Amino acid sequence: MPNFRLFSSGRSNRLLILTVFVAGMLLLFAADLGPQARLISGVVWASLLLFLLVWASASIASGVYVEVVTCNREKRDMVALTFDDGPCETSVEIIDLLEKYNAKASFFLIGSRITGKEAIVRRMIREGHLVGHHSWSHSSSFPLMSPQNIREDILTARSVLENVSGIKHPWFRPPFGVTNPMIAAALKGLNLKIAGWSIRSFDTKNENAELVLKRIVKKLKGGDIVLLHDTSANIVPLLESLLQYLKKKGYRCVNLDTLVS
């Protein structure tokens, strides 16, 4: 059985934040400090605590608020390529390349983009790719919404996808990879597996496919989950070069279910 604690070090990170909080409280209220020293110590402590809380939200690998799958080092011959923000017309070219190299992948779809692209979604599933949720609209305000509104957003996207596919889709990747207490509350009871990543390609930030490829392969190890995007300008040449590299190195490209099974 895979060691899921290897995927997300949430327990140890929560303990770290709690330790910083308790240590700061003891320093401020138990130590014999003068007013100026107490003020300086308080500012330093509060800044460190704030930094840790922001990091916990912004880094999906932190696992502080929700358990997140970020890799599986037991699967040394496997790599999971994941694509966010589809479906779109480029998704067809991506699927064609995956078929050419006998590779499987995982797609996290924005619910509002599915209408008119139903055939693409069905082809993804038919050809053995995993399809998951990536919110309804990928709104920039998603992490700031109330738990109820976040939950409604996720359920709306899930309903649209499942009406198209006719099957359940238990995987979810939060927009921007952000997690926080509101998102954690919204996810309670939905029985969703949360997908993170161990390699962020930054393919949407850099249009040079060669440089993005170098960034990926420099870090790549067996069991990695790689974050890519259907919508990035360089995705087709980047993906072909990456698939060639993975084949040369003997890696199997699998979907997330296979990686964590």
Q: Catalytic annotation on 134? A: no
Structure-token pair, residue 248 = 């040369």
> DSSP states of 177-232 as a string?
G---HHHHHHHTTS-PEEE--SEE--TTT---HHHHHHHHHHH--TTBEEEEETT-
Q: Please tell me whether residue 171 adopts helix, strand or coil conformation.
A: strand
Do 8 and 40 touch, CB atoms closer than 8 A?
Answer: no
Do 238 and 212 touch, CB atoms closer than 8 A?
Answer: yes
Cα separation, 94 vs 171, in Å, equals 20
Question: Catalytic residue among 85, 224, 229, 230, which?
Answer: 229
CA atoms within 13 A on the CB side of 240: 7
Cα separation, 44 vs 50, in Å, equals 10
Q: Catalytic annotation on 129? A: no
Question: Catalytic residue among 84, 85, 203, 230, which?
Answer: 84
Do 6 and 72 touch, CB atoms closer than 8 A?
Answer: yes
Q: Please tell me whether residue 30 adopts helix, strand or coil conformation.
A: coil
Residues annotated as part of the active site: 84, 229
